[in-house]
Structure 1
């Protein structure tokens, strides 16, 4: 068995209107939080290019992959950071949650372009491999969230099966991110297979099987929500998720409530941490 700790964290984009919760007052706390919990994989949502640079600087033991959602790699991203003393990235890419996923685009009636970044990672000794997918669904459009979930059900199996050479096996999958929806909502049901995941006009079979790591965990820790206003928790808003394929056992799932040295949360989201084994 190979153990892996996967953290997902919406660190909030650098908003000049955040005043005393501006990024320059939070970035050290975000870096310390990640270093303290020392995940094998850290998936971030919302960081702008300068924030991605700050995260790289504060997490020198990690290899980062991913780009921004705008043309030229600008804008918010969904980077994946991999702990380089245990894992290596063998392949990675980004696609857009839209009708034209292979180029920068805004799908359906989303407010902004939305993306998914993926990384195929392998232990440095070559004994285990995993496909990690990090995404951020639209915060306004329910239609865009539903279609994004359906697109992921098509694209992730294709990505997992690609470039496997002569092997018939595909790696286990962990899909994480800010889905801007709670358990039981339509996009969540699509992703975990409780509703048809086939989009109109889809040409590939749906072979993706995922389950929510939170209820599947042997040990669960932390609040039922993942949203904050920097000072307090906002109840009933577990919108940050980790979903895993059947080959992945969920040993523990936590919603982390670490505060910074000011007594505030370092973001308007709480990070989630899944302790997994394959």
Structure 2
């Protein structure tokens, strides 16, 4: 078994209206938080191009992949970063959560284009491989969240399927991101194997691609039951940031991190989540 720590963090886009919580007042705290907890894999939601570049500058020991959601690579992204001393990225891409996932597009009444970035990572010291998928569901349309979950369930078997390095087997899967929904909601239920409307193709036959909520199955659970803040306080009952894992991934611990910056404020309007996994 190989241990791996995966962090997912909605860092909030650079909004000039955030005043004293603007990105330039938060970016160093975000970088320090990631460096302190030293995840092997870090996945971010919402960073704009300049923010993605500034994350790279503050995390020089990580290789980043992922693009923006607009046609010209602008807009918010869902980048994945792998710590180069432990894992290398073998392949990666981004697709859109829409009826035409191969091209920039918006469907299902979503307020904005929504994307998922994936990366196949391989351990530097052994043959262990892992598929990491990072996404951000729409915050307005419940229908878009449901259809995005169904699309991901359809795409995961292909993404985790055999490759030239391991032609006879699929690889373990970790899906992380801001799903803009809580456990037990329709999109969450679809991702962990049930479709409340009965419109999905059904549970994936290969049980290695059956997803489980890392927070629910962790041997150790730490931190609050919410992942949303107003920068100063927690907003109760809003665990909308998730880590889901396939059945062969063990979950040693799951934490919602409540680190504050040197001003006593949270570095984002979301708390990062950290899962200690075994593959």
TMscore range, shorter length: over 0.9
Q: Is the 8 A contact 1:190 1:196 kept in 2?
A: yes
For 1:152 and 1:125, the matched residues in 2 are separated by 30
Shift of 1:156: 1.1
The structure-2 alpha-carbon separation of the partners of 1:36 and 1:270, relative to structure 1 and needing over 3 Å to count, comes to: same
For 1:117 and 1:197, the matched residues in 2 are separated by 27
Shift of 1:108: 1.1
Instruction: Indicate whether 1:149 and 2:154 are aligned.
Output: no
Structure-2-length-normalised TM-score: 0.96
For 2:97 and 2:278, the matched residues in 1 are separated by 29
Shift of 1:167: 2.3
Q: Point out where structure 1 has 5 or more consecutive residues left out of the alignment.
A: none
Tell me the equivalent position of 1:94. Answer: 94
Q: Determine helix, strand or coil for the equivalent of 1:47.
A: coil
Tell me the equivalent position of 1:10. Answer: 10
Instruction: Indicate whether 1:253 and 2:261 are aligned.
Output: no
Q: How many residues align?
A: 277
Q: Determine helix, strand or coil for the equivalent of 2:156.
A: helix
Q: Is the 8 A contact 2:106 2:112 kept in 1?
A: yes
For 2:12 and 2:164, the matched residues in 1 are separated by 36
For 2:198 and 2:55, the matched residues in 1 are separated by 36
Tell me the equivalent position of 1:49. Answer: 49
Tell me the equivalent position of 2:239. Answer: 238
Q: Determine helix, strand or coil for the equivalent of 2:51.
A: helix
Shift of 1:215: 1.1
Shift of 1:198: 7.6
For 1:276 and 1:69, the matched residues in 2 are separated by 29
Q: Determine helix, strand or coil for the equivalent of 1:93.
A: strand
Q: Is the 8 A contact 2:258 2:271 kept in 1?
A: yes
Structure-1-length-normalised TM-score: 0.96
For 2:64 and 2:177, the matched residues in 1 are separated by 16
Q: Determine helix, strand or coil for the equivalent of 2:169.
A: coil
For 1:205 and 1:46, the matched residues in 2 are separated by 30
Q: Which moved more, 1:189-198 or 1:7-16?
A: 189-198
Q: Determine helix, strand or coil for the equivalent of 2:160.
A: helix
Tell me the equivalent position of 1:211. Answer: 212
Q: Is the 8 A contact 1:256 1:270 kept in 2?
A: yes
Q: Is the 8 A contact 1:8 1:176 kept in 2?
A: yes
Aligned ranges 1:132-171 → 2 under 5 Å: 132-164=132-164, 167-171=167-171
**RMSD over aligned Cα atoms:** 1.7
Tell me the equivalent position of 2:69. Answer: 69
Q: Is the 8 A contact 2:134 2:177 kept in 1?
A: yes
Shift of 1:13: 0.1
Q: Is the 8 A contact 1:31 1:58 kept in 2?
A: yes
For 2:205 and 2:177, the matched residues in 1 are separated by 21
Tell me the equivalent position of 1:23. Answer: 23
For 1:249 and 1:179, the matched residues in 2 are separated by 22
For 1:234 and 1:198, the matched residues in 2 are separated by 32
The structure-2 alpha-carbon separation of the partners of 1:205 and 1:250, relative to structure 1 and needing over 3 Å to count, comes to: closer
The structure-2 alpha-carbon separation of the partners of 1:176 and 1:166, relative to structure 1 and needing over 3 Å to count, comes to: closer
Tell me the equivalent position of 1:267. Answer: 268
Q: Determine helix, strand or coil for the equivalent of 1:7.
A: strand
